[in-house]
Structure 1
Amino acid sequence: MDNTIGAGNKLILLIETLKQHGSLGVSELAAETGIPKSTVHAHLSTLGEHGYVVQDRSKAYRLSLQFLDIGSKVRETRGIYDEIVPKLDQVAEETNEKAWWTVEENGMAVFMAKSAGNRAIQTNARIGLHLELYQLAAGIAILANLPADRRAEILDGYEYPLPSGHDREEFESKLVSVRDEGVAYDTNSFIEGVTGIGVPLLDNTGTVHGAISISGPNNRLADEQDANKLTDLLRGISGELQVNLSYL
């Protein structure tokens, strides 16, 4: 049993290392992971046989597009994906900013879908990126609307004060306000110079299915009047989706 667990951990480590570096040879992977070259080669051979890694012209290994297929299928299992994407396009078109759908998994915020307007800024945010919930307006909106026991479990895992300077009591008070107001804001939390506005996606029972958000430069989103207009837009979209969410 221990050998099986060890082999599984090594396989995951190799996949994660290739994800981080893009492509590496057997010797490079062995050096990066501390796994013997013979074991690295054996795992890569298995992955290659099943189409999960490919070799480039230099014989270095990289992850294959099989992972893209898996990710797409996983995303589609969230039944609201087809409903949300057109709404993100609508938000992006009306605001000219970048619109996101974010969900919570294993206590982390995960970007599930995006749509970019004409003035959307380019950042290192990408589909599938995992971040702490407190780093994003969307994540805070989700956290504020999780069941109390689940929220407490996630909060227990944070080190305080948070990067924002909040201690736990202050952050919990902020979450109450977010839940009451139905919107969360963040400025410079994830990316310096960027503001986010996030609204939870709730069904008729109050279950949260993620959040939709807008991100853009501070000078365009931090203005109170503009922020209010964007918040109203997001709330309207969330309200339109609420009925569909209730029948998933």
Structure 2
Amino acid sequence: MSLSGPASPSGSPPDPAARHQGHGLRRDIALLEALASPEAQNAGGLGVVRLAQLVGREKSQVSRALKALAEEGIVERDPDTLEYRLGWRLFSLVARTSENRLVRMAEPVMHAVSADLEETSHLCVLRDREVLTLLSVSGHSFRVHGWEGRGVPAWHTSAGRVLLTDATPDELYVRFAVGGDLPVPVQELWARIQEARRDGYARVSEEFEAGLVGVSAPIRDFRGRVVAAINISAPKNRLGDRLDTAGRATAAAAAKVSALLGWEPRRTPLPTARLT
């Protein structure tokens, strides 16, 4: 009897590298399970120390694993609390089967606003410098898959501007200007974001694509943080004269989803940060 473990189906000994990779995958899954636990969901995230306790691993090992997962978008690190939560890349995969909570809450509301405006609506989130579409529905009670899973530059779109509502000028600079590929000054992007914040929705006209206009409004979680946006986009000759009407309808729809996620509306002061 061999003491080295069972042989592979071909009769050869198991590959040590494959066994190590499988072990590493199981440990990463354990971290994801911990981040999906009621404790993590209620707290809005967990720190490295607590995660290490939950999975029974060294803090340094957990920290390295989380860093690698964050680089791939599988988890996210909150810039304020430094705690980790499940990332939107993971949610975007789940969203295609309509399993995650945000999509479940947003989809019926999106159907209603799309039917009201007779235009397609999109559920969007921020991913690095891009806006990622998780879900699209038309005004005719069916899903539209052309935009799902696609990312577009955040600074070009109304969705990007509302998704950046919580960002400070310094964060905008680090996110966009450091790479040198931001086509507009940070000051101009900041001004447009603040305009959207005051109005409750953002609007663009032919900035992303010639002949295309759109409006977007923010969805907030129970903490009041912007976690997603509802967007309405359409040809200018069809929606251009109704942008403000569409903006108000989209803002009302986003507020309904926010309420379903536990957000209680209250007056939010404009940020006092100044561009330097």
Q: TM-score, normalised by structure 1?
A: 0.60
Query: Which is greater in Rg?
Result: 2
Where do 5+ consecutive residues of structure 2 fail to align?
1-16, 18-90, 264-276
Q: Distance in 2 between matches of 1:159 and 1:175?
A: 20
Q: Distance in 2 between matches of 1:161 and 1:139?
A: 13
| Residue 148 of structure 2 is aligned to residue 132 of structure 1 | no
**Per-residue displacement from partner, 1:131-179 (whole Å, max 9, x unpaired)?**
11112211121112346664443233453661xxx32222222222222
In terms of mean alpha carbon deviation, does 132-141 or 71-80 score higher? 71-80
Q: Which of these residues, 111, 115, 119, is aligned with residue 93 of structure 1? A: 115
Query: How much has 1:234 moved relative to structure 2?
Result: 1.0
Q: Distance in 1 between matches of 2:195 and 2:238?
A: 24
Whether the 8 Å CA contact 1:114–1:127 is kept in 2: the answer is yes
In terms of mean alpha carbon deviation, does 83-92 or 143-152 score higher? 143-152
Give the corresponding residue for 1:145: 166
Q: Please tell me the root mean square deviation across aligned C-alpha atoms, in Å.
A: 3.1
**Per-residue displacement from partner, 1:29-54 (whole Å, max 9, x unpaired)?**
xxxxxxxxxxxxxxxxxxxxxxxxxx
Whether the 8 Å CA contact 1:144–1:176 is kept in 2: the answer is yes
Closer/same/farther in 2, CA of residues 192 and 205 from structure 1, 3 Å limit: same
Q: TM-score, normalised by structure 2?
A: 0.55
Q: Which of these residues, 212, 217, 224, is aligned with residue 235 of structure 2? A: 217
Whether the 8 Å CA contact 1:183–1:200 is kept in 2: the answer is yes
Count of residue pairs the alignment pairs up:
173
Q: Which of these residues, 229, 249, 257, is aligned with residue 233 of structure 1? A: 249
Whether the 8 Å CA contact 1:178–1:184 is kept in 2: the answer is yes
Give the corresponding residue for 1:24: none
Q: Name which structure has the greater RCO, CA cutoff 8 Å, separation 6+.
A: 1
Query: How much has 1:74 moved relative to structure 2?
Result: 5.6
| 1:63-102 correspondence runs (5 A) | 72-73=93-94, 78-102=100-124
Query: How much has 1:244 moved relative to structure 2?
Result: 1.9
Closer/same/farther in 2, CA of residues 230 and 107 from structure 1, 3 Å limit: same
| Residue 126 of structure 2 is aligned to residue 104 of structure 1 | yes
Q: Distance in 2 between matches of 1:149 and 1:125?
A: 34
Q: Distance in 2 between matches of 1:158 and 1:183?
A: 28
Where do 5+ consecutive residues of structure 1 fail to align?
5-69
Q: Distance in 2 between matches of 1:160 and 1:80?
A: 31
Closer/same/farther in 2, CA of residues 173 and 147 from structure 1, 3 Å limit: closer
Q: Distance in 2 between matches of 1:132 and 1:80?
A: 22
Q: Which of these residues, 223, 243, 247, is aligned with residue 259 of structure 2? A: 243
Q: Distance in 2 between matches of 1:242 and 1:161?
A: 30
Identity of aligned residues (%): 19
Q: Distance in 2 between matches of 1:71 and 1:231?
A: 25
Whether the 8 Å CA contact 1:145–1:179 is kept in 2: the answer is no
Query: How much has 1:71 moved relative to structure 2?
Result: 5.5
